[in-house]
Structure 1
Amino acid sequence: MPTRPWIRRLVVAELIAIAVVLLVTGWFYWRSRATTLNGVELDPPQDIPSVTLQGSDGQSHTLGDFRGKLVVVFFGYTHCPDVCPTTASTMARARALLGEEADRVQLVFVSVDPERDTPERLASYLAKYDPSFLGLTGDETTIRQLATTFGVHYAKVESNSALGYLVEHTSSTFVLDTRGRLRAVLPFGLTPEQVASDLRALLTS
């Protein structure tokens, strides 16, 4: 017995609906996997105000100068005995793992010790890890303003260490997307492979 036209149309419509559901479900599944980070992704991303600081390259910079790249921002200081050298080393190795994509990532090290961290000292310190790393310093008020924007806390602590006083500070690293918005927070302790994976995901998302 011939199939009635309306039945054929109903079957076709149901098949199309099922196909659409599968496509949409698959897209959301792919998207959720593609944007899963080892760090914490901010949704929506947060705007960062423009603050001018002095760079280790002798130029004045704002974080907005690097739009078009991911900007990896870390707050630390050159006399730091542990967290800062560990983070700098991790970021240098992660950047190396990115291969050709490394040029699309700029690491910025913001000093929380402007009393001792001159542009020249920052340049010498960061060159040991990766010559592309940029240090930023400035007056205490401006640095504090920028740190507060990121939710970074720091405080000078007197010490008997040969390094002099220490500075306790937030150990997380922050990633700005190519539009200059705060997009992700990477906790201290991630491996270079995990950091590189997150940066690749953010470059393609």
Structure 2
Amino acid sequence: MLWPWSSPAQLIALRSPDLLLRLPQIGDYPAWSGLRKASRPFLKPFEPRWTEADLAHSVFATRVKRARQEAEDGTDYSFLIFNLANGSETLVGGVTLSNIRRRAAQFVNLGYWMGQQFAGQGLMTKAVALTLPFVFESCDLHRIHAAFLPGNIASRRVLEKNGFIEEGFAAGYLQIDGRWEDHVLFGLTRERYELRRHGRKA
């Protein structure tokens, strides 16, 4: 694992034997656009509205530039997820740590997406687990927040398996596919993370 203060933003990477999480690079465009396009019907009910135009190379190039700048500023980290099985690096989805707040708050928001063909294999549970040391140890934050649509059982399971607990409900919380949708709010504190890391019941 490479810490944010010791490496250029483009080199920040989180790695396990199974997965690699890193910032996007221009060379990722074919795999990214192909996976997003193929998974659009699967992702559409869970994401803000987007069109074919959002898959353009120029749009992705802007994403790459913005991701690098935000990482250098320490405000957001937009990671792509690569499965390392069989010695390859296969793009399977993405994890975003956004809206980092310091001073009295010390929190970050967690978001993620998974390509349809890779869903249900436990990869997102492992990817979220890989971000937690980065959040609490590298970035030295105190809380991580996540929200999901009430019917999204898969997302609930990903968070529960990583120690998150339900903290509330927000009406009209995020605009999803053109509509303001209610969300279930989950959170994980540093204290709970430390208890789990040391094998103690949270």
Higher RCO structure, 1 or 2 (CA under 8 Å, sep 6+): 1
TM-score after normalising by structure 2: 0.28
If each structure's strand is expressed as a fraction of its own residues, which one has the higher value? 2
Q: TM-score, normalised to structure 1's length?
A: 0.28
When Rg is computed on C-alpha atoms for both structures, the one with the higher figure is: 1
